Amino acid sequence: MSAEAPLTAPDPTRSRPAILSRLPDPKLPRGECPRRVRQEIDLLLLAIEALDLSGSEAMLLSAQELGLTEILGSRVVLWRLRATNPLRRSAQRDPLSLDEAKALVAVLAHLARQLNLLIRQLLMAQEVLARRGLPLDHHFRLNDYVGRFRSHFRARMNPRRAAVAAYDDDRLAQLALELLERLLFCTGTAGMERLWSGLFDGEVA
């Protein structure tokens, strides 16, 4: 190359994980995720933990497989990002950037696809129990999932917050089942993109 050849401007997206470009940037003040979005992402991850006993290890492995280690490179970073959920006992005031939220959603969708069969089985079991008028404890695996979700929620959310205190056993069971449906929603075609867009319903004009 000639020494007089013009220099090309650096590509600002060069080191940006490719998967993030699949998710559009909503128009938000300062490019930070709203409170409700941070809360919903963390609760969906909590449901993943109740399904997969490997928990944060599975999330970090997924981040590695998706090329997201620059954003989700350690357990400490994962904890910090999830702690932007204002309902947590250890809630952080740090903002959650759009790229950080995208990385968490990509991991969510990746793990949900891996757990697709289990999620479907649990939702089918719940439908059968509902038709027969039977409680959740008539299905061991479903009852086990709901029990673990309740335990995770109570251990990690701040009981002094009214929004947390309002969740009794029945409401937590309902929340756990609703999150299963959300996870199933993001396992289909363009599921990650649909989950991402759904998070911002009502948040963007």
Contacts of 48 (CB under 8 A, 6+ apart): 58, 59, 108, 111, 112, 115, 183
Q: What is the pLDDT of residues 7-55, one digit of tens each?
A: 333 344 456 788 999 999 998 877 789 999 999 999 999 999 999 988 8
Cβ neighbours of residue 77 closer than 8 Å, sequence gap 6 or more = 71
Contacts made by residues 138-146, CB under 8 angstroms, sequence distance 24+ = 145/50, 145/51, 145/176, 145/180, 146/50, 146/172, 146/173, 146/176, 146/177
- pLDDT per residue over 66-105, tens digit each? 999 999 999 999 999 999 999 999 888 889 999 999 999 9
Task: Using the structure block, give the residue that is written with the tokens 């009852």.
Answer: 143
- Percent of the chain exceeding pLDDT 90 equals 77
What is the chain's Cα-based Rg? 19
Q: In this structure, what token pair is assigned to residue 110?
A: 């990746």
Q: Which residue has the tokens 């952080």?
A: 92
- d(CA 62, CA 73) in angstroms, rounded, equals 11
165-175: pLDDT as tens digits: 999 999 999 99
**CA 52/CA 178 separation, integer angstroms:** 17
pLDDT of 4 over the 70 cut: no
Which residues lie below 8 Å from residue 59, measured CB to CB, with a gap of 6+? 45, 48, 72, 78, 107, 111
DSSP three-state, residue 32: strand
Q: How many CB atoms lie within 10 A of CB 68?
A: 23
Q: How far apart are CA 119 and CA 117, in angstroms?
A: 5
